[in-house]
Amino acid sequence: MTTEPTGISRKNLLKAAAAAAIPSALLAGTVPALANTEPLTPTPFCDDGDDPTPPQMEGPYFKPNSPRRTSMLDGAGTRLTVSGYVFGLACQPIANALLDFWQADNAGAYDNSGYRFRGHQFTNAQGAFSLTTIVPGLYPGRTRHIHVKVQAPGRPILTTQLYFPNEPRNATDSLFNPVLLMTVRTVPSGREGTFDFVLNVAGTSSPSPTTTPTSTPTQPGGTWQAGQYYAVGAQVTYGGLRYQCQIAHTAQPGWEPPNTPALWRRL
Ligand SMILES: [Fe+2]
């Protein structure tokens, strides 16, 4: 990651436009227009020359089919918001990117029977996301962290983890990577964390061309099959009903179309 000492690069201009929801058509030669926008909170990633956000192991506690929600508040703990942007390699904001978070509760326990502290959401048109949760508790062997999967439409899933600064265990957790540190500040309501993801997506954030998989109806449920990759627009049948894929993904058991309205729209 390189630091830009002065000036406004095209990438930072894109970031500023994303933060201020300025249409990209206004970008060319619009530095004066940006002068009236709110100052940006410095973000640690997506400067010129940045690499994609590194992956980390999924660990044993991921569960598919998390509920779609931006607040996972449930139970005791210090309130925490995590917000930021999802960018491509050119710092272009990526809209409709899927973020699926899961974390330990205040006592350091994962909910493996239900969906406490599990939730997914999609970035808005500016590529922004915001999660309301609690500071995850510690559990043996690990420093404090939040798991997340991030996927641009039509792209592979990035599985990684976010970390907290000034945690004593950061120094002893072999998985800890300082590149994945959030910027965290204390506020009256608790903590505010920010992190910008950079996905290995070149150029624009347009989804890849749609294709319809040539599935064969070997399952009683229909043509939908776990393990099959579905592009945006792909159509399947399940339970005698037809569905169209909304977010490119590789199907997993538990992600059947009736269970995942964020992924599948009934036709
Ligand atoms: Fe974990």
Q: What CATH number corresponds to the domain at position 73?
A: 2.60.130.10
194 and 98 in a common domain: yes
Q: Could you give the number of structural domains in the chain?
A: 2
Ligand 1 centroid from CA 58, angstroms: 8
Helix (H) or strand (E) holding 145: strand 145-151
What is the pTM (predicted TM-score) of this model? 0.64
Q: What is the pairing mode between strands 79-87 and 197-198?
A: parallel
Q: State residue 254's pLDDT score.
A: 63
Ligand 1 centroid from CA 163, angstroms: 11
Query: Average pLDDT over the chain, rounded to whole?
Result: 80
**Res 25 pLDDT > 50:** no
Identify whether 17 is part of a domain. Answer: no
User: Which ranges in 96-254 belong to alpha helices (H)?
Assistant: none
241 and 136 in a common domain: no
CB contact at 8 A, 17 and 37: no
Choosing from 174, 198, 222, the residue where a domain stops is 198
Instruction: Give me the domain span that covers residue 243.
Output: 208-267
139 and 217 in a common domain: no
Identify whether 56 is part of a domain. Answer: yes
220 and 130 in a common domain: no
pLDDT digits (tens, 9 = 90+) for 190-246: 999 999 999 999 875 444 443 333 333 334 578 988 888 889 899 999 888 899 988
Ligand 1 centroid from CA 105, angstroms: 10
CA distance 243 to 64: 19
191 and 217 in a common domain: no
Identify whether 241 is part of a domain. Answer: yes
Q: State residue 161's pLDDT score.
A: 98
Across residues 11-39, what is the average pLDDT? 41
CB contact at 8 A, 144 and 167: yes
